[in-house]
Structure formats: C-alpha cells, structure tokens
C-alpha cells in the first residue's frame, strides 16, 4: 500500500490549564492524499482545530502536550524530526489558512511583503518571490496585483483578505492545504466565492485539501471524505455521501438533523389584522455612510418577521433604531398609536416594556458580575410596577423553567454556563418584562449548530404559548426557514424584497435574494452548486 501524503495516527493531545488536564484530542486518526478533500466536521470544543494545529506544529507546548500518536508526511515522522527540517516542510509542503484573516495578517507590513515572505524564508531569492507573489495574487482574484501588493491588510475587504491568505499558502505548490474554518467569518455570498476558488485551485494543482468546519453545507459542497469529531474523538468516518445521508453515530445523526432549513417550510400565518408595529421610511447616516435607506415593513401580533442580510446591510441598525439605541435620522416607528421615534425618554420608558431585545453574543450580553437571579429580576427593579418584590423569586424560577433551565441555576453566574444556556437566560430576561415584541439580533449566530436549533425551537414554542411577535435578524436564509412567517431581505441599507416565507424560498424575485439563496449550501452532496452529481 502506498503511503499517504499525510498520515495522522492515534494522535492524542492534552492541555494543562487551571489546575486541570484537558484531553483535547484522543486517539484521532486520519489520512489525506493529493487530489482529495477531507473534511473534519465538528462543533466547538471537538478538537478539530487542535488536530490540525498539531500537524503544523502550532501547539504551544507547554501548556499543550502531544501524548501519543504519530504524524507522517510522505513517510517522514513529523513529530520527531529536527526543527529545521520540520520548518522546511511547514509552509512549503503543508500550508495552512485560518479563520479570521484580518487578525492573521500582520497589520504593519504590506501584503505583498507578507506573501513573498512565505517564499523567502525557504530560500527563494527576493526577486523571484516578488514575481511569484504578483502571479499568485492575480490567480486568487485580486485585481491590479502590482499596485495592491503595496497595500496593507486593513485596506482590503474580508473576502479579499482570505484570498491573500490563500495566495500566501500556495507559494511552493504545497501537497496539503489545511483550511481551518476559512469561510466562517465571511458573508454567505463571499463564502461561496472563496470555496469555489479553493475548489478550482485544488483541481488545478492537484493538492490535497484538509477542510475543518462546523458547517455541513460546506462539507457537502467540498469534501470527498469526512470525519466527524466530538469531544476530542473521531465518532464517524467515511465518504461524504455516506456520512451525511446515512449517519451511523448518534452524534452525527444529531448534527445532520439539526441543520436548519430542512423539511417543509413553515406555513406562516399571514394576518390581515392591523400591524402592531409599523416601520416607515427609516433613514440613517453615519457621517457620510448611508446606513439605512427608506426602510419600511410591518409586524403583526404573534407573527415572526425575519430580516436577512449580509454585513453592512443595515439589519442591526434597523433593530437598534426601533428600540432607540441609535436613533434614526428620519422616519417613524408606529406602535400602539404613537411614533416611537418622536417620543421623549420618559414616554419611551413606559413603552420599553413592550419591546425587548436579545443580542448576538451571549458572553457579552449578560453582566458577568450579576447572578442569574439579579439579571432576570433587574427588569422589575427598573419597572417597579410589573411585579411586587415578594414574588420575584417565584417568577424567576417560572421563567427559568419556561426557557428550559433549572431552579438551581438562579444563583449562579454567567461564566458557569454554556453559550446556549446563556442565550436562554437572555431570553428569560427579555420575557421578564412581558413584552409583546422581541427582537432577536442574530441571536443564534454565535451558537453551535445543534444548539441553534434548540434555541429556535424554544423561540417558536414561546411564540405559540405567549403570542409574542418576533423580529428575527439573521445573516443567511436557511436558519429562518423554520421560524419566520415573513421575510425581509436587506442589502446595503435598503430592503430589496419582502414577502411571506414560502414565496421567498420558492420563488425569489430579486436577483440578490436569489444569489443569497444560491449561496446557502445544502448538506446534500448531490446538490453541489445546484447541479446533480453522479454517485462517486
């Protein structure tokens, strides 16, 4: 049997932190050859990144330690070779790109210099390195590479920066490219472009691609084989079709089932009654930047309206304008017969109880120094007329139960909970005000896929039981499919399409909506890029 280009066998890595030893990776094995794409699929804490970091010698030892296993590159033992030889292989024959390209590029040096450095350090003369840099920059789709090579990372967009990182990795035609969540931080439409680029480069150069991701859509789109990791172990491996279509392990089954946007679209209840919230012609400028252009939509009682858009679309700005966190320049928000935008602080105070908000980052949205009880009951401290003090504890426990938490959680602190639990606490806090409308500003975007679906189910549940209306803000379409009644699509501050959820998903009218839909990757390997593939 010919040896694999990259062969990881029984790898175990542990970390010493906070007086404990954490086994981040346990007996993980996988292999990769040229021309094929292997996806490592897992949620956060699964150990997928650590496994890849071990290959690239990026684990800090201490506090990390490789306790067992081997990593072979073309038969050579990476873990026990002299540092000089290892460095030769890293960057030349095995290259890596990372998740957040802005943080991973040195802000004080021109990008051309940084890309050429990847080649210079391995002995290429400076002139050749420069030429190759320009060539690579052009190949990855940067226009005007001669000029742009002198620019700095902050002068590029997110997608462009990732292209630059890819260029940086390709200098010596590596055998293996490791991509650690390369598109997670990017907009959905940009993500598709980057993945296409990776595919094209892979086909051109014949390199092997090790793709680390939590997104089943990406796995389905890109990979030939996949391994699934959970809590440091490999729970399933196989060809992509098998793993996604017929998952064997319960964890994989859970993951596959949790992917949003499967099954039938929610048959939204379209109400003819008067809307409870009417947003009309909101406009906002940040200096010269026109953030909101004439944004208008309605919300009916008990209904869920999703606002979908990529970064810079104005969706969060709209939400903040409605709750008067950042006032709009012009326009109106009608609620209960009044225009919220025209109210003074005192009058707004009385209405605040009816409209509450849940934020994106559960780590940050709870005061780390307040207990869960204090966080939830703060609502009643501020609005003394909702609930008498002697009933606070009782009600906090009721709310915790409503959101699926336990009574003993009331006296703990936010850092003792997981992301999903913190988001539940945030929901309980919002519910404490007994609102009629809850605005979720990317409330599930920062959560693991399996947790996302739980939280969305909870919100759905609350809508049915309590009749609360929702404005649900998201950056891609699939996640709203199960939850929204109507969808509003925004781009660059303006609404490009509005309609009920069935229409948006099945017959999108605007080109941008169509593009957004097309860029949402389905976890079905036979539906790559909209084409059907013959079974492998």
Partner 1 sequence: MGRFVLKRSLFSLVSLFGLLVLVFFLSRLTGDPAALYLPVDAPQSVRDAFREARGLNAPLISQFGDFLVNLAQFDFGDSLRRQRPAFDVVMEAFPWTLGLAGLTMVLVLSGAVVLGALAAIKVGGVFDRISSVISLTAASAPDFWLALMAIFIFAVGLGWVPTSGTGTPWHWILPVAVLFVRPFGLVLQVVRSSMIGALSSAYVKTARAKGVKQRAITFVHALRNAMLPVITVAGDQAAGLLNGAVVVESVFGFPGVGKLMIDSILQRDFTVVLAAIMVTSLAIFTMNLLIDLAYALLDPRIRY
Partner 2 sequence: MTQTGINGAPAKSSRKLPTWLGLLLADKFATAAVIFLSLVLVAALIGPALLDEVAGKVAFRSRNLAPFQLDHGVLMILGSDSLGRPILARIIVAAQNTMMIAGFTVVAASCIGATLGLIAGYSRKFLSDAILRLADVIMSFPSLLLAVIVLYMLEPAVGNLVIVLAITRIPVYLRTTRAEVLEIRERMFVQAAKVMGASSWRIAFVHILPMVLPTLLTIATLDFAFVMLAESSLSFLGIGIQPPEITWGLMVAQGRPYMNQAWWLSFWPGLFIVLTAMSLNLISNWLRIVLDPTQRWRLEQRRETDHG
Binding site for partner 2 (CB under 8 A): 17-19, 43-45, 184-185, 214, 323, 325, 348-349, 352-353, 355-357, 359-369, 378-379, 382-383, 406, 409, 411-412, 415-422, 426, 429, 433, 445-448, 451
* Residue span binding partner 1 (CB under 8 A) among the ranges 94-102, 448-456, 480-488, 519-527: 94-102
Instruction: Round to whole Å and give the CA distance between 161 and 194.
Output: 11
**The entry of partner 2, partner 1, none that residue 418 binds, CB within 5 to 8 Å by partner kind:** partner 2
Q: Which is nearer to partner 1, 32 or 118 (CB)?
A: 118
Q: Which is nearer to partner 1, 87 or 245 (CB)?
A: 87
Cα distances (Å, whole numbers) of residue 80 to 122, 220, 470: 20, 35, 57
Burial of 324 per CB tally in 10 Å (0-12, 13-18, 19+): middle
Nearest partner of 523 among 39, 70, 23, 32, judged by Cα? 39
**The entry of partner 1, partner 2, none that residue 56 binds, CB within 5 to 8 Å by partner kind:** partner 1
Nearest partner of 101 among 52, 42, 160, judged by Cα? 160
Count other C-beta atoms under 10 Å from residue 127's C-beta.
Answer: 9
**The entry of partner 1, partner 2, none that residue 19 binds, CB within 5 to 8 Å by partner kind:** partner 2
Q: Which is nearer to partner 1, 90 or 356 (CB)?
A: 90
Specify whether the CB–CB gap between 86 and 55 falls below 8 A: no
Q: Which is nearer to partner 1, 117 or 242 (CB)?
A: 117
**The entry of partner 2, partner 1, none that residue 87 binds, CB within 5 to 8 Å by partner kind:** partner 1
Q: Which is nearer to partner 2, 110 or 312 (CB)?
A: 312
Q: What mask of x and - would describe binding to partner 1 in positions 133 to 172, judged by CB under 8 A?
A: -------------------x-xx---------x--x----
Would you count residue 410 as binding partner 1 (CB under 8 A)?
Answer: no
Q: Which is nearer to partner 1, 178 or 444 (CB)?
A: 178
Peptide bond into 193 cis (omega under 30): no
Helix axes 449-466, 250-258, angle to 10 degrees: 50
* Residue span binding partner 1 (CB under 8 A) among the ranges 53-61, 192-200, 238-246, 410-418: 53-61
Count other C-beta atoms under 10 Å from residue 334's C-beta.
Answer: 16
Burial of 486 per CB tally in 10 Å (0-12, 13-18, 19+): buried
Which of 72, 87, 245, 338 forms a contact with partner 1 (CB under 8 A)?
A: 87
Would you count residue 19 as binding partner 1 (CB under 8 A)?
Answer: no
Instruction: Round to whole Å and give the CA distance between 72 and 68.
Output: 13
Smallest gap, in angstroms, from Cβ of residue 126 to partner 2?
A: 38
* Residue span binding partner 1 (CB under 8 A) among the ranges 91-99, 186-194, 348-356, 492-500: 91-99
Which of 10, 67, 106, 281 forms a contact with partner 1 (CB under 8 A)?
A: 106
Cα distances (Å, whole numbers) of residue 269 to 104, 232, 304, 470, 517: 46, 44, 9, 13, 22
User: Which DSSP symbol is given to 374?
Assistant: H
Q: What mask of x and - would describe binding to partner 1 in positions 186 to 215, judged by CB under 8 A?
A: ------------------------------
Q: Which is nearer to partner 2, 42 or 91 (CB)?
A: 42
SS3 464: helix
């Amino acid at each position: 049997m010919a040896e694999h280009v990259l062969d990881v066998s029984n790898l175990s890595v542990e970390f010493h932190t906070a007086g404990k030893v954490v086994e981040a990776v346990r007996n993980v094995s996988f292999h990769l050859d040229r021309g094929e794409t292997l996806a490592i699929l897992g949620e956060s804490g699964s150990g997928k990144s650590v496994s890849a970091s071990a290959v690239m010698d990026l684990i800090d030892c201490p506090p990390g330690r490789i306790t067992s296993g081997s990593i072979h590159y073309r038969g050579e033992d990476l873990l026990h070779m002299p540092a000089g030889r290892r460095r030769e292989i890293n960057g030349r024959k095995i290259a890596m790109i990372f998740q957040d390209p802005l943080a991973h590029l040195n802000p004080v040096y021109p990008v051309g210099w940084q890309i050429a450095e990847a080649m210079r350090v391995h002995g290429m003369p400076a002139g050749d390195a420069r030429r190759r840099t320009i060539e690579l920059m052009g190949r990855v789709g940067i226009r005007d590479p001669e000029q742009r090579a002198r620019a700095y990372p902050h002068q590029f967009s997110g997608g462009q920066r990732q292209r630059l990182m890819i260029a940086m990795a390709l200098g010596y035609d590596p055998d293996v490219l490791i991509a650690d969540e390369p598109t997670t931080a990017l907009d959905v439409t940009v993500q598709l472009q980057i993945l296409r680029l990776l595919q094209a480069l892979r086909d051109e150069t014949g390199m092997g691609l090790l793709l680390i991701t939590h997104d089943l859509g990406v796995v389905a789109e890109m990979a030939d084989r996949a391994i699934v990791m959970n809590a440091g172990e490999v729970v399933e491996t196989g060809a992509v079709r098998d793993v996604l279509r017929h998952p064997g392990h319960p964890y994989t089954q859970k993951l596959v089932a949790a992917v949003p946007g499967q099954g039938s679209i929610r048959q939204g209840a379209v109400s003819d009654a008067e809307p409870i919230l009417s947003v009309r012609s909101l406009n906002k400028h940040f200096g010269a930047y026109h953030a909101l252009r004439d944004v208008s939509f309605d919300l009916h009682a008990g209904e869920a309206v999703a606002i979908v858009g990529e970064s810079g679309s104005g969706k969060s700005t709209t939400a903040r304008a409605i709750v008067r966190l950042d006032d709009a320049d012009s326009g109106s928000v009608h609620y209960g017969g009044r225009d919220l935008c025209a109210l003074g602080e005192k009058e707004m105070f009385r209405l605040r109880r009816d409209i509450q908000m849940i934020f994106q980052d559960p780590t940050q949205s709870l005061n780390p120094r307040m207990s869960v009880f204090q966080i939830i009951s703060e609502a009643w401290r501020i609005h003394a007329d909702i609930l008498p003090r002697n009933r606070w504890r009782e009600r906090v426990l009721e709310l915790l139960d409503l959101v699926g938490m336990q009574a003993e959680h009331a006296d703990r602190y936010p850092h003792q909970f997981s992301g999903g639990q913190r988001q539940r606490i945030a929901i309980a806090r919002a519910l404490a005000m007994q609102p009629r409308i809850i605005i979720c500003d990317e409330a599930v975007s920062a959560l693991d896929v399996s947790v996302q679906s739980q939280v969305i189910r909870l919100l759905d549940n609350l809508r049915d039981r309590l009749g609360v209306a929702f404005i649900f803000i998201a950056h891609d379409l699939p996640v709203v499919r199960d939850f929204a009644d109507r969808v509003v699509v925004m781009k660059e501050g303006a609404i490009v399409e509005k309609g009920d959820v069935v229409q948006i998903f099945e017959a999108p009218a605007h080109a941008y909506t169509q593009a957004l839909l097309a860029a949402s990757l389905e976890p079905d390997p036979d539906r790559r890029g909209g084409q059907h593939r013959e079974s492998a």
